[in-house]
Structure 1
Amino acid sequence: MKHHLRTLGGALSLLVMAATATAATSLPTATSQTASQQFRQLYTREWTWRQTQLGGADEDHPDQQSGHLPDVSAQAQARREAYWTQILQKLDAIKPVQLQGEDKVNYAVYRQQIEVLLSDQRARTWEMPFNSDTAFWSDLGFSARAHFNSLQDYRSYLQMLREVPRYFRQQTANMRLGLARGFSQPQEILKGRDQDIAQVADTPLPANLLYTPFRNLPADMPSEQQAALRKAAEQVIGAQVIPAYQQLLHFFRSEYIPHARHTLAAEDLPDGKAFYRSQILEYTTLDMSPDAIHALGLREMASIHQQMLDTIKQTGFKGSFAQFLQFLRTDPRFYAKTPDELLKDASWIAKQVDGKIGQYIGRLPRERFGIIPVPADLAPIYTGGRGGPGVYMVNTYNLPARPLYSLPALTLHESSPGHALQMPLAAERQGLPDFRRYSYISAYGEGWALYCEYLGVEMGMYQSPYDRFGYLSYQAWRAARLVVDTGLHHLHWSREQARAYLRANTALAEHEIDTEVDRYVAWPGQALSYYLGELAIRHDRQRAAQALGARFDIRAFHDAVLATGSVPLPVLDQQIDAFIADGGRSPYADPASTVAP
C-alpha cells in the first residue's frame, strides 16, 4: 500500500473502491507444477493486479505510481467480484498439506485476504465509500500533502487530478445505488461530514489545498518547468477539480443527507445480520457472535474498572469515580496550553521509548518517524492521533479534549513500539510475499498497538498515578468498544446510549466521545479488533512464558510476533506454537532467516 495514511485509517477504502479486472483471464491452471509453484504463481499475479488496479500503481512497473484513480464503476465492481471468485476457486483446488515450508502460512493469510475482498464485493460495500473520518475525497488531500521527489511525481499528481471528475461521478453513482436500497451511512452522524468537501470546493487558487505541491517547488527545478507545472495545476484544479468538488458537495447536501437512513445499526441494513457478522469476521479474524463479544466486553470492563478504582486511591482523591472523571476533564493541569506544548510532550515520550525499546524488541526497523499535527481541515472529525510508516500525527485541535495523562498510552500505540514500528518492520522483512509485508489486518495491527500500551507498564512509561489512570482509561475505552459496537449494531442502542456508556466508564473528553461513537456507527466491527487482538497477543505471551520457563526471552517473543507480517489471529497462534516448539528462539537468530541484513 503506497499511501500509508490511507492504511492508517485502517481502512481498506481503496480495496473497497476498486477497478476492472483485466487480468482475470490469465489465471494459472493446474499443470505438472508443484502445489507451491501453483500457489506462488497465483498470488503473484493477483497481487500485481491488485496493486495496479486498486492502488494506483503503474501497470508495467507495479512499484511506481501511475497517477491514475481507480475505475470504481458498478461494471468494474462486478468484474472484480468475478475475478476474486475465480481466485478463490483456484485456491480451493490447492491442498494446503501439499505446500512447502512458509507457504502453508502464506496460504492461510492469503486466503483470508481474498475471502474478505470477495465478502465486501458481495455486500456491495463500495456503495458506501466513506466513514466518519475517512473518505475517497479526503484521500486526495493526503496525496496533496505527500512529499514529491521528482518531476514525474508532479506529473502523476496532475494526472490524478485530471481524473477526479470521472472518479467523483462514479462514486456519486455508487452512493445513489446505496441510497436506493437503504445501504447508506446514518443521517444522524452526517452533520459536518461535508466540511472537508466544502474546504476544497469553496477555496480558490492558490490557497486551495490541492494546489499545495505547487506553492513551493524545488529550488533546483528550472524556472520554465516550475511555470509550466503551476500553469497546468491552475488549469486542472480551477476548471475541473473545484467544479467536481462543488458538484459532490451539492449532491451530499441536497441528496445524500436528506435520503440517508434513519437507523444506526448495521443489522438494519439490507441482509444486516449477515453483513454485521461478515464485518466482525473481517476485522477480528475470529468467528464470534455479537452476543459473545458483548458479554466479554462487560466482563473485561468490570476488571478494568476495579483497577481504575485502585489507581484513584493512589492519587489521594476522596470523591466518587464520576467526580474523579469530572476532575480529570476540567482541571487545567492535565491539558496543554498550546499545540506546540502537546507536540513537544508527545516527542519527549517517544524519545523516552527510544531509550528503552531495545530491551524489549530484538529487531528494530531502519525507518524513522516524525511527529506532526493532524491537518487542520481533518482535525475536527479526526481521532486523537494516528501513526504509521514515517509519521505519528497528534491532533492539536480542541486542546481541552487532549488530556496529557492519556498521551503516554496514545504515543506508545501510534508511534513506537506501535504502528510506526510494526508497519515498517513488516515492510523490511525480506523473503515474505508482498501481500504479507504490505497488507494490514486490523486485529493484528491494532491488537499489537494496544498491546504496546500494556507493554508501557513494564517499560515504566506511566510515571504518575494519573498517567496510570490514563492508560487504564484507554484500556477501558477499547474494552468498552466491545460493548458499544455490539450495542449499536446488534442490540440497537441509540447514539446517546453509546455516548453515556463511554462517558460513565472512561476518562475520554466529550469531544472524543462524540467522534468515537460516530466512528463506531460508521464503521461496523472495526472497533472490535483492538481489544480482541491485544487479548490474543497477551494470551500467546502467557502460554509461551509458561511453556518455555527460564528459556523465555521477551525480545525473542516480540520478534516472533512482529516477524509474521500482518496475519489473522489464528495464524498468529500457530506461529507462536512454532516459536515454542523451536525453544523460544528469535526468528532472526536463524542463519537461514529471511531478514534484511
Structure 2
Amino acid sequence: MKRALLITSLMAATALSAAPVSAQGETTEACQPETKPRSAADKKFEEISTAEYDWRVGEMAPNEDSPASAEATLPDVGPKRQAEKLARWTDTLKALDALDVAALSPANKVNYEVYRQQIESLLAEQKYHEYEKPMTADTSFWGDVAGWTRGTFSTAADYENYIAMMQQIPRYYDQQIVNMRAGLKRGFTAPKITLQGRDSEIAAVVDAKSIAASPFYAPFETMPDIIPAAKQAELRQQAQEAIRKDVVPAHQKLLTFMRTEYLPGARTSLAAYDLPDGKAYYRSKIREFVTLDKSPEEIHQIGLDEVAKIKARMFDVMKQVNFQGTLPEFLTFLRTDPQFYVKKPQDLLDRAAWIAKMFDAVSGDYFGRLPRRRFAIKPVPAAIAPYYTGGRGGPGIYLVNTYDLPSRPLYSLPALTLHESAPGHAMQMPLAAENKDLPAFRRDTYISAYGEGWALYSEALGEEMGIYQTPYEVFGMLSYQMWRAARLVVDTGIHTQGWTREQAQQYLLNNTALSKHEVTTEVDRYIAWPGQALSYYMGELTILQDRAKAEKALGEKFNIRAFHDAVLELGSVPLPVVTQRVDQFIKDGGVGPYPDEEK
C-alpha cells in the first residue's frame, strides 16, 4: 500500500502506470557505450530484475476468473500470495548476492544499487508481515478502493472495468480481514488511538440512503456523451447491481469486523519497539525510509541539533517583524490572528494556485528540464479531510485540505505548495516517469528518502527563488523545516524512547507554527507509520550537503539548473546514489545531463 507503483489513496484514483517491463532491458542496454558489449554480469542482472519486476507488476494483474483489466483489478493479498512474495524476494536477493557487481557497467551499477534497495525493503515487509496492518493514520485499503470513485471515466470500457473492480471487493476485503485477524492475534496492529473515527468512511457506504446515493455510484451520475444512451443505461443498471450485491455487503462485513473485533482489540501501546521483534522491525523501517544504516539514537541527535539551528533563524524573523515576546507567544499569535486565515475554502485553493504560478514564473531559472505533465489543484475529499494532512501531491494532482480553515494558515501555504506541487512531488514524479533512459523499476516506484527529501528541499529553495513574500511566509517555511527536523526527534522518541502521544504533540506545539489540529493528525501519523517521517529531513540534508560540496568544488562553474537536473534525472533512488551522482557531476566539471537545456 505504501509503495505500490504510484498507486495511492492520497491522490485521486490512478491506474497502474508501469511502463512495459520489456523496455527495461532495452533501456539499460542503451545506457552502455556502443563500443562495449554487455558483460555476462549485465545480462544476468537485467534478466533477474526484468523477470522479477515483470512478476511484481503482474501482482496487480487480473485473477484467472476475473474479467477485469489490470487497471481495474484489486490485488490478491491472501496467505498463499503472501508466501509467494516472500519466496520470490528471498530468491531474488540470493541471486543479487551471487552477482559479480564489479563487472557491471557504470549504468547497471547504479541500477543494481537502486534495485537491491527495493528488494530488501519488499522482503523486510514480508518478513515482518506488514500486510497484517494494511493502514496508517490516514490511509487504508478501503480508502484506496474508494479512490476509484474519484477517477476519470472516458469510455464504456472504463466503466466496465470499474464495475468489475466493485465485484471483486468482497474477495479483497475478506482477504484483508483474514490478514488483520492474524495481526490482532500476535499484537501487530495499528495503535487504537490512531483508529478513532476511521470506521466512518466504511459506514458512509453502508448508510447511504439509496444505491444512487452511494459514493461508489458517483461516476455514473454524469457520463460522457460519447457513450450511447442505451449503453449508459446498461452500465448504470450493472453498477447498481454490483453496489447492491457486492459493495454494500462487503462494507457491512468490514464495518462489523472493525467495530466488534479490530477497534476493541487494537493495541494500546504506541511504540514500534512494543511490536513483535520490535527493535529489528523499527531498524528495518529506518533502512527502508532513510536508505542509510543509521541508528535511532543517531537520528534522534541529528534532529535535536537541527531543531536548535532552525530555532535560531526563527528568532531572527521575530526580530524582523518587531515581535516582543517569547517563541511560544509568537506561535500563539500566528495560530490565532485572523490576518493569517481565510474564511472560504475556495479562497485557500485560489491562493494555492497563485503560489503555483509564482513558481512557474521562475522555473526556467532553476531547472533545465520540466515535465510535460501538469497538475490540478483540488480540495481533499470531505470523507477523509478531518484526519488528513494539510495537503498532498503527486502526478497530476495537488490536494489542498480545506477542512477546518482556522487550522490552515496562509503563511504556511507557500511551503506546502512548493512541497506538494512544483518543484516538489507533482513535478519530480512525472519527471521520473517520463525519463525513458531509466529502467521501469526506477521510473515507476517511489523511495521516500529521495522523494520527500527533494520535496522538503523544494520548500527551502523557495526562499532562493523569491516565492516567500513576507517574513511571516519565511517563518512558515522555517516552521515546516522545523516540523520535519522535529520529526526526527518525535518519531524516534515515540518508537524507541517511550514518548507519550501528549509528549510528542507538545514538542511540535512548542517548536512549530502548526495548528493544534495539524499537530494531532501528524503525531497520529507518526505513531501509525513508524519510520516514514524520518525520510524527509534526512533526505533534504543529503541534497543540501551534496549541493554545498558541488558549489565549493566547482566555484563559478556551478550551474544550479544543471545541478537540479542531475539530481532529478535519477528517478527515485537511495540517498547514497544521490551522493554518487553529485560526485560525478563535480568530476564532469558541473555539466548536467541536458547541456543544451541548461545554458
Contact 1:418-1:448 within 8 A present in 2 as well: yes
Which residue, out of 196, 203, 212, partners 2:201? 196
Measure, in 1, the Cα distance between the counterparts of 2:58 and 2:418. Answer: 34
Structure 1 residue aligned with 2:28: none
Residue identity opposite 2:138 in structure 1: D
Structure 1 residue aligned with 2:449: 443
Measure, in 2, the Cα distance between the counterparts of 1:7 and 1:180. Answer: 27
SS of alignment partner, residue 93 of structure 2: helix
The CA deviation at 1:8 is: 5.2
Residue identity opposite 2:445 in structure 1: S
What are the equivalent positions in structure 2 for 1:471-510 lying under 5 Å apart?
Answer: 471-510=477-516
Structure 2 residue aligned with 1:543: 549
Residue identity opposite 2:522 in structure 1: E
Do residues 130 (structure 1) and 132 (structure 2) align? no
Contact 2:39-2:104 within 8 A present in 1 as well: no
Do residues 229 (structure 1) and 231 (structure 2) align? no
The CA deviation at 1:65 is: 3.0
The CA deviation at 1:333 is: 0.7
The CA deviation at 1:33 is: 7.3
| Deviation readout 1:145-183 (Å, 9 max, x if unpaired) | 111232221111111111100110110010000000010
Do residues 553 (structure 1) and 555 (structure 2) align? no
Measure, in 2, the Cα distance between the counterparts of 1:404 and 1:47. Answer: 43
The CA deviation at 1:590 is: 8.1
What are the equivalent positions in structure 2 for 1:151-190 lying under 5 Å apart?
Answer: 151-190=156-195
Structure 2 residue aligned with 1:97: 102
Measure, in 2, the Cα distance between the counterparts of 1:168 and 1:488. Answer: 31
| Deviation readout 1:57-113 (Å, 9 max, x if unpaired) | 799xxxx73422111111210111001111111111211111123111000000110
SS of alignment partner, residue 287 of structure 1: coil
Measure, in 2, the Cα distance between the counterparts of 1:148 and 1:269. Answer: 42
Structure 2 residue aligned with 1:296: 302
SS of alignment partner, residue 106 of structure 2: coil
Cα 1:314–1:260 change in 2 (3 A) is same
Measure, in 2, the Cα distance between the counterparts of 1:333 and 1:496. Answer: 29
What are the equivalent positions in structure 2 for 1:175-324 lying under 5 Å apart?
Answer: 175-203=180-208, 204-324=210-330
Contact 1:109-1:567 within 8 A present in 2 as well: yes
Q: How many pairs does the alignment contain?
A: 567
Structure 1 residue aligned with 2:415: 409
| Deviation readout 1:293-324 (Å, 9 max, x if unpaired) | 11111111011111101101111111221111
Cα 1:169–1:2 change in 2 (3 A) is closer
Measure, in 1, the Cα distance between the counterparts of 2:568 and 2:368. Answer: 10
| Deviation readout 1:276-301 (Å, 9 max, x if unpaired) | 00001100001111111111111110
SS of alignment partner, residue 392 of structure 1: strand
Cα 1:587–1:127 change in 2 (3 A) is same
SS of alignment partner, residue 196 of structure 2: coil
Higher RCO (C-alpha 8 Å, min separation 6)? 2
Residue identity opposite 1:246 in structure 2: Q
Measure, in 2, the Cα distance between the counterparts of 1:576 and 1:73. Answer: 43
Identity between Structure 1 and Structure 2 (%)? 56
| Deviation readout 1:521-580 (Å, 9 max, x if unpaired) | 000000000000000000010001111111110000000000000000011111111111
Q: TM-score, normalised by structure 1?
A: 0.92
The CA deviation at 1:438 is: 0.9
Contact 1:58-1:66 within 8 A present in 2 as well: no
Structure 2 residue aligned with 1:364: 370
Measure, in 1, the Cα distance between the counterparts of 2:376 and 2:298. Answer: 40
Residue identity opposite 2:342 in structure 1: A
The CA deviation at 1:3 is: 7.3
Structure 2 residue aligned with 1:397: 403
Contact 2:317-2:475 within 8 A present in 1 as well: yes
Which residue, out of 457, 461, 464, partners 1:458? 464
Measure, in 1, the Cα distance between the counterparts of 2:49 and 2:549. Answer: 33
The CA deviation at 1:239 is: 1.5
Farther off after superposition, 41-50 or 346-355:
41-50
SS of alignment partner, residue 70 of structure 2: coil
SS of alignment partner, residue 239 of structure 1: helix
Do residues 333 (structure 1) and 335 (structure 2) align? no
Which residue, out of 345, 353, 356, partners 2:351? 345
Measure, in 2, the Cα distance between the counterparts of 1:570 and 1:8. Answer: 28
Measure, in 2, the Cα distance between the counterparts of 1:555 and 1:113. Answer: 29
Contact 2:155-2:227 within 8 A present in 1 as well: no
Measure, in 2, the Cα distance between the counterparts of 1:8 and 1:42. Answer: 32
Structure 2 residue aligned with 1:527: 533
Contact 1:7-1:440 within 8 A present in 2 as well: no
Measure, in 1, the Cα distance between the counterparts of 2:196 and 2:563. Answer: 46
The CA deviation at 1:383 is: 0.6
Residue identity opposite 1:36 in structure 2: D
SS of alignment partner, residue 587 of structure 1: coil
The CA deviation at 1:5 is: 5.6
The CA deviation at 1:434 is: 0.5
| Deviation readout 1:216-247 (Å, 9 max, x if unpaired) | 11112111110110000000111111111111
SS of alignment partner, residue 139 of structure 2: coil
The CA deviation at 1:262 is: 1.3
The CA deviation at 1:465 is: 1.0
Measure, in 2, the Cα distance between the counterparts of 1:8 and 1:450. Answer: 18
Measure, in 2, the Cα distance between the counterparts of 1:436 and 1:104. Answer: 13
Structure 1 residue aligned with 2:24: none
Structure 2 residue aligned with 1:27: none
The CA deviation at 1:38 is: 1.5
Contact 1:329-1:507 within 8 A present in 2 as well: yes
Residue identity opposite 1:73 in structure 2: G
Measure, in 2, the Cα distance between the counterparts of 1:365 and 1:344. Answer: 23
Which residue, out of 72, 76, 82, partners 1:71? 76
Measure, in 1, the Cα distance between the counterparts of 2:204 and 2:579. Answer: 46
Q: Structure 1: 5+ residue runs without aligned partners?
A: 15-31
SS of alignment partner, residue 355 of structure 1: helix
Cα 1:583–1:539 change in 2 (3 A) is same
Which residue, out of 502, 507, 516, partners 2:522? 516
Residue identity opposite 1:251 in structure 2: F
Contact 2:508-2:519 within 8 A present in 1 as well: yes
Cα 1:43–1:108 change in 2 (3 A) is same
Contact 2:452-2:535 within 8 A present in 1 as well: yes
Measure, in 2, the Cα distance between the counterparts of 1:194 and 1:587. Answer: 49
Contact 1:56-1:70 within 8 A present in 2 as well: yes
Measure, in 1, the Cα distance between the counterparts of 2:518 and 2:110. Answer: 39
Residue identity opposite 2:250 in structure 1: A
Contact 1:485-1:524 within 8 A present in 2 as well: yes
Measure, in 1, the Cα distance between the counterparts of 2:51 and 2:452. Answer: 29
Q: TM-score, normalised by structure 2?
A: 0.92
Contact 1:427-1:437 within 8 A present in 2 as well: yes
Measure, in 2, the Cα distance between the counterparts of 1:2 and 1:39. Answer: 22
The CA deviation at 1:334 is: 0.4
Q: Structure 2: 5+ residue runs without aligned partners?
A: 17-37
Measure, in 1, the Cα distance between the counterparts of 2:62 and 2:406. Answer: 42
Residue identity opposite 1:109 in structure 2: V
Structure 2 residue aligned with 1:22: none
Measure, in 1, the Cα distance between the counterparts of 2:101 and 2:9. Answer: 29
Measure, in 1, the Cα distance between the counterparts of 2:70 and 2:359. Answer: 34
Structure 2 residue aligned with 1:468: 474
Measure, in 2, the Cα distance between the counterparts of 1:201 and 1:518. Answer: 26
Measure, in 2, the Cα distance between the counterparts of 1:275 and 1:337. Answer: 44
Measure, in 2, the Cα distance between the counterparts of 1:138 and 1:115. Answer: 27
Contact 1:444-1:533 within 8 A present in 2 as well: yes
